[in-house]
């Protein structure tokens, strides 16, 4: 397939691009603005592969999006570009509204213009996959059933509110204009190339360096965790197999309290690389909770299993082990990010900006 992937230099986007290019042999154009969260080193294994191209551009730039569709003529769009960090959305919501809402709108319009002009068979086969989060469904009590595709939206942070808005836009463009959109809502991802400000990589790297391991509140907030490569496989399947207008929830069936996640990382790291100063659980430090911190998310992934035959390959334990080993072996990737020395836009490795 010829697929335009937005946000392909980010955490999940790069896992998806590596899967599409290196394992499935798809032609891929990555469209990415290279914000602080975008890093071309995450897709360096794809550079130079037949059919791979990179365009540094903002999805909210209508002219650039028109040009990307006209030049690349994609058969599908997989839209992952977003501002994605809840804490940053609380500190300042403007970039979230701009990229997640205005950017998605701009991309949908560019896709619609491209799709409308396609010959009938190509028009029929075209897909626009909008990648979203389980956070749009709000917060669950300890005994509530997991989120399903029909759970009403109840976003509670600026991040999840802007993602919810963009989900509604994607569905409206299907209902109103017939654009063949599909929406996926996924639980928390973890794995290689995860920006070091997010919980799991932050804990791994702080634990490695003997620094405090910050845990919000009492550590009792529950998330469902999915290994990022399992998410990438799910997305590649959905874009090929799902019917337009569908929604799929994607989850790992791995509900964990934050404290359990941190303790698992401590124990596995102790086994892999013992710390002479003692067990790493000693570093756990409880910090003031985040405002509006959703208590529990849980995803019911039964529909994607039934309709498309997808299920995760990794358990939480096997995925954490793979993640830990990756961070131990790939200091070249995370060290500059962690020390704030690295700016994705000024990457020595790939000097030229724009398409290559």
Q: Which of 83, 149, 159, 263 is catalytic?
A: 159
Q: Which of 26, 56, 58, 135 is catalytic?
A: 135
The smaller minimum CB distance to ligand NAD, of residues 226 and 283, is found at: 226
- In whole angstroms, the minimum distance from the beta carbon of 26 to ligand NAD comes to 18
- In whole angstroms, the minimum distance from the beta carbon of 29 to ligand NAD comes to 12
Q: Which of 26, 32, 39, 134 is catalytic?
A: 134
Tokens of residue 222, six digits: 């529950």
- In whole angstroms, the minimum distance from the beta carbon of 12 to ligand NAD comes to 4
User: Residue 165 and residue 101: Cα distance in Å, rounded?
Assistant: 6
Annotated catalytic residue 159: yes
The smaller minimum CB distance to ligand NAD, of residues 9 and 283, is found at: 9
- In whole angstroms, the minimum distance from the beta carbon of 270 to ligand NAD comes to 26
Annotated catalytic residue 135: yes
User: Residue 345 and residue 291: Cα distance in Å, rounded?
Assistant: 32
The smaller minimum CB distance to ligand NAD, of residues 16 and 283, is found at: 16
3-state helix, strand, coil in the chain (%, to 5): 45, 15, 40
User: Residue 263 and residue 66: Cα distance in Å, rounded?
Assistant: 48
User: Residue 22 and residue 121: Cα distance in Å, rounded?
Assistant: 28
* Chain positions contacting ligand NAD, by CB under 6 A: 6-7, 9-13, 32-35, 37-38, 58-60, 80-84, 99, 103, 131-133, 163, 186, 188-189, 195
User: Residue 236 and residue 304: Cα distance in Å, rounded?
Assistant: 12
The smaller minimum CB distance to ligand NAD, of residues 40 and 280, is found at: 40
Annotated catalytic residue 134: yes
Residue with token string 């405090």: 212
Question: In the bound complex, which residue of the shown chain has the CB atom lying closest to ligand NAD?
Answer: 10
Q: Which residues pair with 104 in a beta bridge?
A: none
Q: Cα(first)–Cα(last) distance of the chain, in Å?
A: 20
The smaller minimum CB distance to ligand NAD, of residues 130 and 280, is found at: 130
Q: Which residues pair with 129 in a beta bridge?
A: 78, 182
**Residue 158 near residue 100 (C-beta atoms within 8 A):** no
- In whole angstroms, the minimum distance from the beta carbon of 337 to ligand NAD comes to 11
User: Residue 133 and residue 185: Cα distance in Å, rounded?
Assistant: 4
Residues taking part in catalysis: 134-135, 159
């Amino acid at each position: 397939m010829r697929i335009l992937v937005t946000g392909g230099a980010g955490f999940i986007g790069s896992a998806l691009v590596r899967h599409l290019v290196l394992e499935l042999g798809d032609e891929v154009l990555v469209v990415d603005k290279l914000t602080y969260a975008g890093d071309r080193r995450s897709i360096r294994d794809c550079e130079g592969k037949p059919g791979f191209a990179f365009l540094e551009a903002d999805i909210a730039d209508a002219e650039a999006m028109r040009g990307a569709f006209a030049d690349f003529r994609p058969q599908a769009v997989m839209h992952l570009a977003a501002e994605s960090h809840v804490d940053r959305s609380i500190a300042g919501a403007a970039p979230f509204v701009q990229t997640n809402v205005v950017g998605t709108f701009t991309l949908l319009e560019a896709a619609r213009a491209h799709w409308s002009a396609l010959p009938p068979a190509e028009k029929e086969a075209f897909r626009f996959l909008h990648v979203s989060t389980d956070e749009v469904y709000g917060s669950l009590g300890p005994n509530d059933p997991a989120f399903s595709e029909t759970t009403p939206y109840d976003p509670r942070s600026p991040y999840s509110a802007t993602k919810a808005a963009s989900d509604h836009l994607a569905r409206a463009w299907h209902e109103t204009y017939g654009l063949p959109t599909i929406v996926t809502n996924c639980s928390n991802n973890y794995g290689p190339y995860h920006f070091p400000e997010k919980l799991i990589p932050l804990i791994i790297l702080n634990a490695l360096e003997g620094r405090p391991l910050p845990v919000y509140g009492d550590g009792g907030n529950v998330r469902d965790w999915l290994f990022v490569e399992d998410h990438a496989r799910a997305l590649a399947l959905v874009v090929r197999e799902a019917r337009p207008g569908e929604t799929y929830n994607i989850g790992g069936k791995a509900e964990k309290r934050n404290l359990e996640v941190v303790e698992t990382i401590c124990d596995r790291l102790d086994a892999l690389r013992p710390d002479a100063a003692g067990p790493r659980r000693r570093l756990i430090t409880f910090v003031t909770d985040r405002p509006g911190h959703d208590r529990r998310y849980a995803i019911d992934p039964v529909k994607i299993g039934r309709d498309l035959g997808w299920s995760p390959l990794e358990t939480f334990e096997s995925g954490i082990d793979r993640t830990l080993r990756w961070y131990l072996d790939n200091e070249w990737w995370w060290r500059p990010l962690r020390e704030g020395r690295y700016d994705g836009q000024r990457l020595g490795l790939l000097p030229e900006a724009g398409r290559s």
